[in-house]
Amino acid sequence: MRTGLYLAVGLLLGALVALLLAARGPTPWVEAALIGLPLGFLLGAIGLAARFPARSVPLGQGGVVRVAATHASAAVVSTAAWVLAGAIVARLLDRLPSFAGASARFFTKAPELFIVGVLIFLLAVTVHYLVIALDTAREAQVRGVQARVLARDAELRALRAQVDPHFLFNSLNSVATLTSEDPAAARRMCLQLAGFLRRSLVLGGQERIPLGEELGLVHDYLAIEKVRFGERLTVEERIDDGCRDCMVPPFLLQPLAENAVRHGIAQLVVGGTIRIEARRSGGLVTVVVENPRDPERSGGRGAGLGLENVHGRLQAVFGDEARADVAADPALFRVTLSLPYVPEEKRERSA
Amino acid sequence: MSEAPEPLKVAIVDDEELARRGLRRDLAAHPSFRVVAECKDGFEAVRVAAEEKPDLMLLDIQMPRLDGFEVLGLIDPSIAVIFVTAHDEHAVKAFEVNAVDYLLKPVDPERLRQALERARERIRRREPMPVEALTRAARPSGVPLSRILVRDGPKVHVLPVEGVDYIEAQDDYLAVHVAGKSHLKQQPIGELEAALDPARFARIHRSYLLNLDRLDRIELYAKDSRIAILKDGTRLPLSRAGHQRLKELL
């Protein structure tokens, strides 16, 4: 397919050269064809090669002068070489008796050939730029689709993480019990639940949120679990105000708090304390989520999925600058996140 | 509908106090059932099952230390059980397949009424719970057992599998040998074998499952007959097929 195209272009260019040599000059048709055919193919090859200067000086960069100078000089040099090649062919023909004088006849048309060659070279450059532009546009489109798919994927996972079915149904069960025992407490819990769900929907739609917001979400979540677990759950929060404006992806900590409840408190008959700590030292923010756990069951598959999710999102946003460390003691489970302090931009806040 | 002269005895098992209170209140609408115990974990449930002998147990699945299925495997199978869960698709499938009643939290009073009626029927017909089928179906496949639970009257012993030396079948029972002591458990040996990690435990004989870590050597006992000698000097019979299996594993 592609070879056919090259062949056709070569033949076409050959015919053009032959036409130029024969129609308005002294060259007989057969001689014109013999010189024109190789020259046509050669010009095709030069046109193809024009791709390289076109790639090395992209249109958007480097300025018009540089682009023009590059292609003008390339056109002049390669076309000069091309005309020289034509002269050599003509000289070779000259030696045959039936084509005597071919060289001299060729030279009368050389300047015209040169001009046509330069024009065709520049045409080829233009075509190459068009192809490059099309390719870039297609690549950008593919990349855009990929990015959208990834973002949607993360969003879905976050959405699933934020509304753990156990959490939802157990909370509703608590509300159901409270309605007859203590209507005021039931109503309070409904409000807390509604507040938490609303807040997670809002935060989930954003790319980055201040750490303070995320910690607020975790606080709300744990307040609801406190109703369900009663005295079994106590929460200790030590938040350094200096890190609240650090921007993080939403639901960075919530899955960790959920794990702390599900694999820690819920597995302990007497319960225990979940500790949340966030502090900043210079350019580094450290967040700790710690929970007690049942030493007898500490070997289980435990925190796997939620933690993996958190780790993956940290990596995606901060790369090697962020870490998630796990200290898994038989009776205590602690996740420590370290991430760069990236404060909320003032401009964004006033907007 | 015939009213039983004595109300049926019910035990409520759930680690969440609010959930227990809710069930107790819902049960108050059914005077033919009387709550005799509330248990906050599986160990208590096993003790109550042995001591109070309830007719019916409302049993939460997700609990600390022992989950609902582990409790089911340890209590008298003639106690009717209605499982209660907030969300457990896997378990619910097992209930559906085995026609076992379950309630979803929050509990719908009408569903509770139906489940109580069916439980009453089960108790009247003295129909035991399908314990084996349920535990098999409800467990995630491919995850070997990490501990063996043994009931001793009202008490539960948790035996981590790495501490088990060998298991011996004795009639309907299994004797689980741990550091010179043996714990009796009512279970077919083949069923336990299937639940254990095959890379750690080998069936060396029709009646013996051996923890491979404990094996010291194999000796020829008589012509064509071998015995396994454990590190503590215990001698166990080795069948021909068992010997073959051991050779493949070691």
Asked if A227 has any chain B CB less than 8 Å from its own CB, the reply is yes
Chain B residue at shortest CA distance from A271? B64
Q: How far apart are CA B66 and CA B156, in angstroms?
A: 10
All residues of chain B having their beta carbon less than 8 Å from the beta carbon of residue A163 are none
Q: Do A173 and B86 touch (CB under 8 A)?
A: yes
Q: Are B38 and B24 in contact (CB under 8 A)?
A: yes
CA distance A178 to chain B (A): 8
Listed residue (A277, A275, A276, A287) closest to A340, CA to CA: A287
pLDDT of residue A299: 54
B53: phi > 0 → left, psi -120 to 50 → alpha, else beta; which?
A: left
- B80 versus A252: the higher-pLDDT residue is B80
Which stretches of chain B sit within 8 Å of chain A by CB?
15-19, 21-22, 25, 40-41, 62, 64-65, 86-87, 104-107, 143, 146-147, 158
* Angle (deg, nearest 10), helices A2-23 and A102-162: 150
Mean pLDDT of B203-219: 94
pLDDT of residue A305: 62
Question: Binning pLDDT at 50, 70 and 90, where does residue B161 land?
Answer: very high
B180: phi > 0 → left, psi -120 to 50 → alpha, else beta; which?
A: left
Q: Do B62 and A294 touch (CB under 8 A)?
A: no
Burial of A250 (0-12, 13-18, 19+ CB in 10 A): buried
The label of the residue with tokens 């094996």 reads B215
Question: Binning pLDDT at 50, 70 and 90, where does residue B223 land?
Answer: confident
CA B163 to chain centre: 19
All residues of chain A having their beta carbon less than 8 Å from the beta carbon of residue B158 are 296
Q: Do B17 and A269 touch (CB under 8 A)?
A: no
Q: Are B155 and B183 in contact (CB under 8 A)?
A: no
Residue of B92, B105, B197 to mutate, testing the A interface (most A Cβ within 10 Å of its Cβ): B105
What are B182's two structure tokens? 């043996």
pLDDT of residue A350: 42
What are B114's two structure tokens? 């139906």
What are B218's two structure tokens? 């194999």
- Minimum mean pLDDT among A3-7, A59-63, B36-40, B106-110: which range? A59-63
CA distance B156 to chain A (A): 14
Q: Do A174 and B19 touch (CB under 8 A)?
A: yes
What is this model's ipTM? 0.83
Q: Do A169 and B104 touch (CB under 8 A)?
A: yes
CA distance A260 to chain B (A): 14
- B3 versus B200: the higher-pLDDT residue is B200
Q: What is the pLDDT along chain A (351 residues), one digit of tens a residue?
A: 678 888 888 888 888 888 888 876 678 888 888 888 888 888 888 888 888 888 888 776 667 888 888 888 888 999 999 889 888 888 888 888 888 888 888 888 888 888 888 998 889 888 888 988 898 888 888 877 776 676 666 666 665 655 788 899 999 999 999 999 999 999 999 999 999 989 888 887 788 899 999 999 999 999 999 999 999 999 999 999 999 999 998 888 988 999 899 889 999 999 999 999 999 999 999 999 999 998 887 555 445 566 777 887 788 788 888 999 999 888 999 999 999 999 987 544 443
Whether residue B2 has pLDDT greater than 70: no
Q: How far apart are CA A250 and CA A252, in angstroms?
A: 5
Q: Which of residues 144-173 of A touch B (CB under 8 A)?
A: 165-166, 168-170, 172-173
- Minimum mean pLDDT among A171-185, B3-17, B99-113, B231-245: which range? B3-17
Mean pLDDT of B197-208: 94
HSE of B76 in the Cβ direction (CA atoms, 13 Å)? 19
pLDDT of residue A62: 63
CA distance B28 to chain A (A): 13
Return the exposure string of A167-199: e unless at least 16 CB atoms fall within 10 Å of the residue's CB, then b: bebbbbbbbbbbbeeeeebbeebeebbeebeeb
